[in-house]
Structure 1
Amino acid sequence: MQRSAFALFRRKWPAPVWEPMAPFIIAGGIVYYGVWQGQNALSNTDEFRSDPRNRNAKPSKPEAH
């Protein structure tokens, strides 16, 4: 009988895993959200608003002939 590769993850572990890791998972989510908001705030400043690498920058109109 051949077992799937994910059979290891469905196993019941004898020690609690999620309870001790919960604070670190929550803190990681908070840090991720803070960095995301900081990046959005800095990309909307006057210095970077017209930068072509900025995703939120409006595309410039092509020059007329």
Structure 2
Amino acid sequence: MPNLLGRKWPAPIGRVMAPFYVSGLVVLYGVNAFSNTLAATDEFKNDPRNPAIKNQNANGH
């Protein structure tokens, strides 16, 4: 039975792409931290669309 994925190429894709994967995770972490910081500012603290407010109301605070 032939391989369904095609020919297997002997190229080190994971090792070559590792810096891009790591930098993508760093960027996602930074965007998440920045959005959490903005959600806690006075401008958005009382906004009903703020997910932090929804979590506090669900916990009974």
Query: Any stretches of 5+ residues in structure 1 without a counterpart?
Result: 60-65
Number of aligned pairs? 53
Indicate whether 1:26 and 2:22 are aligned: yes
TM-score by length of 1: 0.69
Report the CA distance between 1:13 and its aligned residue: 3.4
Give 2:40's aligned residue: 44
Query: Percent of aligned positions with the same letter in both sequences?
Result: 53
Q: Deviations over 1:2-21 (max 9, x none)?
A: x7xxx52xx75311100110
Higher percent of residues as helix: 2
User: RMSD over aligned Cα, in angstroms?
Assistant: 2.0
